[in-house]
Amino acid sequence: MTTTDTIQATATPEEMLHPGSRALFRYWEAIRGEMSAPPRDWLDLRKIRSLVPFLFMIERKPGKAYVWRLAGTRVCELWGMELTGKPALAQGERFERETVARLLDGVIDTHQPFVLRFRLNSALGLNVAAEFVGLPLRARNGAATYVFGVVMPFRDVSRPRHDQVTGFELSAARTIWTEPVPGASNTFAKNSQQAFQIINGGRS
């Protein structure tokens, strides 16, 4: 059984545990400037070269279905399959899938980043803890927003051939309430009074 606690607080990048997660967040903050989300064309992958294999981009299709638009080689290796074009984070149970969908909606609809941690479970019993950071990124035409980020495992994974992720269990989920820049033109309102969730424990 999974329990949840809701705590009123403001998240900070320091609450991201993995150094790669913090590095990407700092880079995203730097390029967005006074915007709630930077345009895709502003990305310079040469400046985050070490993170490229862990990067992903998720797109929301009609009907609020999320798919992996792009997935780096290490992300695909972590799942044990090619992810591009497939439903995003569909292997979890209902609670996990609904929690992730709400966080993804927040990135698309209100440009609010999030960080979550989970344990990936595979068909052959391999369990890997990882951190997932989702950030808003504007499409080149400006008409859409993608979820851009990293999936950073907490240990190196050598997955047996043909072993694939069959499910995941959340351990923590947090929305990062970014503050608006004074005087900035920003369509998306920021509400620092909303809460984040911490998901304690696991199933017994």
User: Which DSSP string corresponds to 82-121?
Assistant: --TTSBTT-SS-HHHHHHHHHHHHHHHHH---EEEEEEEE
Sorted by sequence, the CB contacts under 8 Å of residue 186 that are 6+ apart come out as: 34, 35, 36, 180
Task: Say if residue 7's pLDDT is above 60.
Answer: no
Q: Is residue 189 part of a domain?
A: no
Mean pLDDT across 128-143 = 91
Whole-number average pLDDT of the chain: 82
Residues of the chain above pLDDT 90, percent: 62
**pTM of the full structure:** 0.80
Domain count, the chain: 1
- Domain region containing 142: 13-179
Q: Is residue 197 part of a domain?
A: no
Q: Is residue 155 part of a domain?
A: yes
For 46, phi then psi, to 5°, come to -65, -25
Q: Is residue 150 part of a domain?
A: yes
Q: Is residue 64 part of a domain?
A: yes
Q: Is residue 7 part of a domain?
A: no
Q: Is residue 164 part of a domain?
A: yes
Domain containing 51 — which CATH number? 3.30.450.20
Q: Is residue 91 part of a domain?
A: yes
- The predicted pLDDT at position 102 comes to 94
